[in-house]
Structure 1
Amino acid sequence: MLNMESNFKVGDLVWARMKSYPAWPARILESDSQKKGQAYVYFFGSKATYGHVPNSAVVPFDSTHKDNLASCKRPDFKIALQLAEEYRQSMEQSENKETEEAESEKGEDKSNSGSPKQINKSSRKSSVESAESSSSGKGKTKRKASDSMENGPKRSRSSITTLKDDSNGLSSRSDLLNRPAVLDRPDSPTVDFANSSEVIQSKEIEPSTLKFGFLGLGIMGQRIVKNLIQTGHHVNIWSRDPKKRQSIKEQADAMGGVGKVEVYIAPCDVMKNSDIVFSCSLDPECAKKNVFGNCGVTKQDNDTLDGKGYVEMTGIDAQTSSVICEEIMSRGGRYLEAQIQGSREEAEVGSLVILTAGEKSLFVDCQSCFKAMGKTSLYLGEVGLATKVYLILQLMKGIALVGLAEGLVLADRCGISAKDIVDIFNMTELSCPYLQNKANIIINKDFKKVEQSIQNMQKDIKLALGLSDEYMQPLMMASAANEVYKHSRKLGYDEHDCACIYMKARY
């Protein structure tokens, strides 16, 4: 690479070559330790660095040299080239704007007009100087240029400060981490009661004459209640969100089901007016509040339950389930844990898998409801078995999802289309409906379509790890997956779909 022009100015875009590496998109910087016959440059890329290179190894970043030097196929080179182009475009836009301002000022005040070219050069130098000023104090001891590249230019310690303060179009967000802002909070899920799925319509369900209560109207709860109402069950509902419960009643009444849905302001009122109550809350703490809270199902006039049933559908651990069971049974009630497996779509159409354990007579009494909710319901035995099976299945799903997300991130870093990877994935035995669905969410970045939130998935993995502690069973992969979900929650993705862990792995 022969240098035909050595008088580059601060801020100029150039091609710079280091020994044993291809020519790389770079930018001329000003240095307080400028070496004779060498240029001090900043190399673009996800592994950005600084270094001195001989003037003979620097040429302008123009179309002539680009045609000869931009043929490198390395993924990190492509990233660097894209960032350099974005920088060039931002500089051109800035220069055009300043030229227009200078021309408009020229007519008003000749003394301040100056040459647009001079103004641009001055502004350009000033902006670059300000961009590098923060690193001048810390960048006096720098890695030698000859050993500063491994698999592409590396980012030196001083580059972190410089990139944060780079006001020339490329901030640390796009240049260093390329991390987007935290996604908007997902909207509260709503359900259209006017539509009934073909699966529900095809089911021959004779609704029970018992009155059923339902506590919790979240992503799954609303859809389960909808199917109960559409199959003719009488449902008393409660939710912490008054708008949700009122909306469901209004929609049910509009469908001609007047009197089939009643709204109550506390769990104890729902229990008082129901024969069997389902609870479908966020986590174990919420599940216990529904029972033991000031307005829980065993409070007020519910000291004696007289054979009433309580069905816990919240994803909880076996210990919490046993505590709730003891409380319900101590007051003469019946208890059944009914853990649900399936997605939001499966809840919508009524094709969930329901795992139950506890009082078998209560399992029998709930059959018409379980048929409305899912495609099958299984009775596993004593209290605790259903929750353990649920957590084991959730653990498998959570670990598999981490593998999917990290695989798609690696494909992206290799310059391979994630869509192509998923198309090939779907042809193999690895494919399954769950991972297919999550892969599509990742490709479309449709993380606001929540089937199970990151917060909820991490809760289940944490409970599974607690179960492993009880049996002294090491779970290395589960522990690693738990940290991935925790980190994603720290980034602000709590309420997004669990496929959003891709964002943590990618950025």
Structure 2
Amino acid sequence: MAEVFKLGDLVWAKMKGFSPWPGRVSNPSKDLKKPANAKKSAVQCIFFFGTNNYAWIEESNIKPYHEYKDTLIKSNKSGAFKDAVEAIEDFIAKGEVFEDGLDPDSLFDRLKEDSIIVEKKTPKIKLRKETPKTRRSDSSGGEGRRSAKKQRRESSTSNSNRDTLESVSPSLNHSSSPRKSASTLLDRPANIARPVTPPLDVETLSQTLKEKNILPSTLKFGFLGLGIMGSGIVKNLINSGHSVIVWNRTQEKCTDFVKAGAEQGLTPSDVVLAADITFSCVADPQAAKDMVFGNCGVLMEISPDKGYVEMTGIDAETSQDIAEAINAKGGRYLEAQVQGSKTQAQEGTLVILAAGDRSLFDECQSCFEAMGKNSFYLGEVGNASKMNLVLQLMAGVTLAGLAESMALADRAGLQQKDVLEVLELTSLACPAVLDKGKAIIEGGFPTQLPLQHMQKDLRLSLGMSDQLEQPLPLAAAANEVYKHAKRLGYGEHDASAVYIRARF
């Protein structure tokens, strides 16, 4: 007998191309339309824990959460899956009420507003100044006869009051002596607001792009994702004369690119339909899969005359899964991982690591010239992802080491600018280390490469090491440091914000 699900039920739901995932039967978000060919009783809208995505799932692919919990938890060991299970278990333990109809961004904004209201209602602690009592003196010198125990107690009270006073005005300036920060149990600073990202000047050509003198391809190119890397890449595609159609989850981000000459697609499938070759550059492996297998996704319009290029930082297994799906419909697939940051993306000086269909690599050459200073073809699908993770592991461990070194210098009473000045004269000097060192000293951590992306790459590197049984003790330790910094609220700051965890 078929299961009957109602609004609010906790379930396991399976999308094509994914393992069963913990979710909840929900009302659809405002932008999620029911598939035109779906029968009313045949599908349910599912909110997926961990990813905070919604999707229409056929009831045959939905199972009750508690009944299948023990079996399905054992079947998936990925970090994202464990986070999703933890999220649904927290939901159950706290007896939370999820407000259906709110998309994840609106829900987050509401939670943020609630936290601000709570903070305003919290009474401030006022320090009461103690008036010392007049002591009775005696001929034996009563003041001098106070017990050592009492002196220690008064000294401890004095230190406590001084710490409380210092906590009223937390500081992150790097002085020679350690200072108390926010009035919390863990002696850590108040969260530093992420610096406002200046708007990207889409229509102005960079000097680097002018010097390249690129002959643009006559093909039409789609681009999915206008995030911190994607926006810089698309800017250079447009300004080098390529015909581009763009899509982004937040449609407002497309406006400036449309003004500069791009077209806009309403869905990823619309972009694929209109373009000869479509690039994708989104947040992580899960988002990359959603782009391909999700509602109105890439796979709906892939055909033998279409090419798909995955630029998202992903693992080899995810890339191979996407390649199989694209190839099964006759399309061509290329993974093109990028080495570089926001600045290199905007200047067109990235390094592109590609693998997969060689003919597609050749057809994308004019695009790769606009994006970067060099491109490499590494053979079969998966090789580029592996190469990228190897390089990201080096970068992540190096940055964690830099953060700890700068924290040690500060604690030892050394001036951090002096450390960087000396470092610049040694064989350790390189642009990446010097740039991150300056970001640590300035303390604002403007985002070049988000900390959460660096931690994601370290996690994927560790996953690859598990499969190959290659020990990575330094990477494992660095990953924990980044995870903690992310937990403290620095995931969207630059990766150099790992310094906060190293110092505090």
Given the two structures, how large is their TM-score scaled by the length of structure 2?
Answer: 0.66
Structure 1 segments unaligned to the other structure (5+ residues): 1-8, 13-33, 44-48, 52-79, 91-151, 153-169
Distance 1:347 1:246 in 2: 19
Deviations 1:37-69 (A, max 9, x none): 9534555xxxxx569xxxxxxxxxxxxxxxxxx
**SS of match in other structure, 2:298:** coil
Match of 1:328 among 326, 342, 347: 326
**Matches of 2:154 and 2:394 in 1, distance apart?**
45
2:220 to 211, 222, 244: 211
TM-superposed CA distance for 1:292, in Å, is 0.3
Aligned equivalents of 1:179, 1:173: Cα separation in 2:
6
Seen in structure 2, the aligned counterparts of structure 1 residues 175 and 40 have a Cα distance that, compared at 3 Å, is farther
Distance 2:442 2:131 in 1: 37
- 1: CA distance between counterparts of 2:264 and 2:286? 23
In the alignment, what sits opposite 2:378?
380
In the TM superposition, what whole-angstrom CA distance separates every residue of 1:317-343 from its partner, at most 9, and x where no partner exists? 000000000011111110000000012
1:272-351 correspondence to structure 2 within 5 Å: 272-299=273-300, 302=301, 305-351=303-349
User: Which amino acid in structure 1 is aligned with residue 287 of structure 2?
Assistant: C
Question: Does the C-alpha gap of structure 1 residues 316 and 410 become closer, same or farther in structure 2, counting only changes over 3 Å?
Answer: same
Alignment match, 2:243: 234
The alignment-based identity, stated in percent, is 50
Change (3 A) 1:42 1:193: farther
Secondary structure of 1:332's counterpart equals coil
Displacement, 1:84?
Answer: 8.3
Question: Matched residue of 1:39: which SS?
Answer: helix
1:406 is matched with 404
1:286 is paired with a residue of what secondary structure?
helix
Closer/same/farther in 2, CA of residues 366 and 416 from structure 1, 3 Å limit:
same
Paired with 1:264 and 1:184, the residues of 2 have a C-alpha distance of 33
2:473 maps to a residue whose letter is M
Task: Report if aligned partners of 2:163, 2:180 keep a CA contact under 8 Å in 1.
Answer: no
Deviations 1:109-143 (A, max 9, x none): xxxxxxxxxxxxxxxxxxxxxxxxxxxxxxxxxxx
2:354 aligns to what? 356
Which residue matches 1:265?
Answer: 266
Task: Assess if the C-alpha contact under 8 Å between 1:189 and 1:219 holds in 2.
Answer: no
Residue of structure 1 in register with 2:200 after alignment: 191
1:462 alignment partner in structure 2: 459
Letter in 2 for 1:466: G
Considering only CA atoms, is the larger Rg found in Structure 1 or Structure 2? 1
* 1:157-202 superposed Cα distances (whole Å, 9 cap, x missing partner): xxxxxxxxxxxxx987369865321122454663112422111000
CA offset at residue 398 of structure 1?
0.2
Cα-Cα RMSD: 2.8
Q: Distance in 2 between matches of 1:478 and 1:324?
A: 27
Alpha carbons of 1:280 and 1:11: their partners in 2 closer, same or farther (altered >3 Å)? farther
Asked if 1:506 corresponds to 2:489, the answer is no
1:488 aligns with 2:485: yes
In the alignment, structure 2 segments of 5+ residues that lack a partner are: 1-128, 133-145, 170-176
Residues 189 and 218 in structure 1, CA contact (< 8 A), matched pair in contact too: no
Q: Does 2:433 correspond to 1:432?
A: no
d(CA) in 2 for partners of 1:391, 1:369: 23
- Alpha carbons of 1:431 and 1:11: their partners in 2 closer, same or farther (altered >3 Å)? farther
Q: Give 1:11 shift.
A: 7.4
Q: How has the CA–CA distance of structure 1 residues 443 and 171 changed in structure 2, closer, same or farther, with 3 Å as cutoff?
A: closer
Aligned partner of 2:340: which letter?
Answer: G
The structural deviation recorded for 1:308 is: 1.0
CA distances 1:183-237 after superposition (whole Å, capped 9, x unpaired): 2245466311242211100012100000000000000100000000000000000
SS in 1 for 2:299: coil
Residue matched to 2:442? 444
Letter in 2 for 1:501: V
Partners in 2 of 1:340 and 1:172 — Cα distance?
38
Aligned residues: 354
Q: CA deviation at 1:359?
A: 0.3
- 1:210 and 1:175, CA in 2 relative to 1: closer, same or farther beyond 3 A? closer
SS at match of 2:387: helix
Q: What is the identity, as a one-letter code, of the residue corresponding to 1:243? A: E
Q: Given the alignment, which residue of 387, 390, 394 partners 2:388? A: 390
Is residue 323–residue 333 contact of structure 2 (8 Å, CA) maintained in 1?
A: yes
Aligned residue runs from structure 1 range 112-127, under 5 A: none
Deviation at 1:446, TM superposition (A): 2.3
- Aligned 8 A contact 1:350 1:373 in 2: yes
For residues 25-48 of structure 1, give each alpha carbon's deviation from its aligned partner in whole angstroms, at most 9, with x where no partner exists: xxxxxxxxx7389534555xxxxx
Instruction: Supply the distance in 1 between the matched residues of 2:457 and 2:372 (Cα, whole angstroms).
Output: 21
What TM-score, normalized to structure 1?
A: 0.66
Deviation string, structure 1 residues 380-424 (Cα, Å, up to 9, x no partner): 100000000000000000000000000000001011111111111
